[in-house]
Amino acid sequence: MAFEIAVAIRYLHSRNIIHCDLKSSNILIDDNSNKIKIGDFGLSRIFNKSKPEENRGRIGTPHWMAPEVLRGEVYDEKADIYSYGMILWEIISLEIPYYGINPYKLISLVAEKKIKVVIPDEGHVLIKKLIEWCLEYDRAKRPTLDKIVAELERVQNLNKYYGKLGFIYL
């Protein structure tokens, strides 16, 4: 799932589309093929590279929004990468991020006080590493989707190899 979501977001970004509302409830699983689909493009935007200042405003669902978006600053595709990190966090924690916290209080906690979700001890090592990277407060330090996809492909290939030997690479 993590791989398919990353590939889908990478495709959107290759078309200069920023989803702006990535969250688990917008990730759908096709009943017939078990393939991942991304839904709810109501807040999506075409990223204007020549006028990045047009890409601003609080847009999305606060529990998954990047700090720069919460502050109403200019944002780019790295905001979706932050949201992707929150989705990965949900996958391994089996919880909703910041559950029960008022959205207005959450804006202050994440945007100004730099509070982050706690990454669980359990879970695949790579997924935990990706969560850390994606949830970087400084968007310049967040990985690209090409880097994320490459890391996930590497682990998939190792698991195929080691799976033939009877164990799974972690």
Query: What is d(CA 63, CA 70) in angstroms, rounded to the nearest whole number?
Result: 10
Q: Could you tell me if residue 155 is inside a domain?
A: no
Q: Which residues contact 62 (CB under 8 A, 6 or more apart)?
A: 70, 103, 106, 107, 110
CATH assignment of the domain containing 73: 1.10.510.10
Among residues 21, 31, 80, 146, the one annotated as catalytic is 21
Q: Could you tell me if residue 115 is inside a domain?
A: yes
Q: Could you tell me if residue 68 is inside a domain?
A: yes
Query: Is 21 one of the annotated active-site residues of the chain?
Result: yes
Q: Is the predicted pLDDT of residue 169 greater than 60, yes or no?
A: no
Q: State pLDDT tens for residues 24-75.
A: 999 999 888 888 899 998 888 888 776 766 666 767 889 999 999 999 888 8
112 φψ region: left (φ > 0), alpha (ψ -120 to 50), beta (else): alpha
Q: Could you tell me if residue 39 is inside a domain?
A: yes
Query: Is the full-model pTM beyond 0.95?
Result: no
Token reading at 51: 């006028």
Q: Is the predicted pLDDT of residue 162 greater than 60, yes or no?
A: no
Q: What does each C-alpha distance from 14 to 45, 46, 108, 158 come to in angstroms?
A: 13, 11, 32, 27
Number of domains in the chain: 1
Average pLDDT, the chain: 87
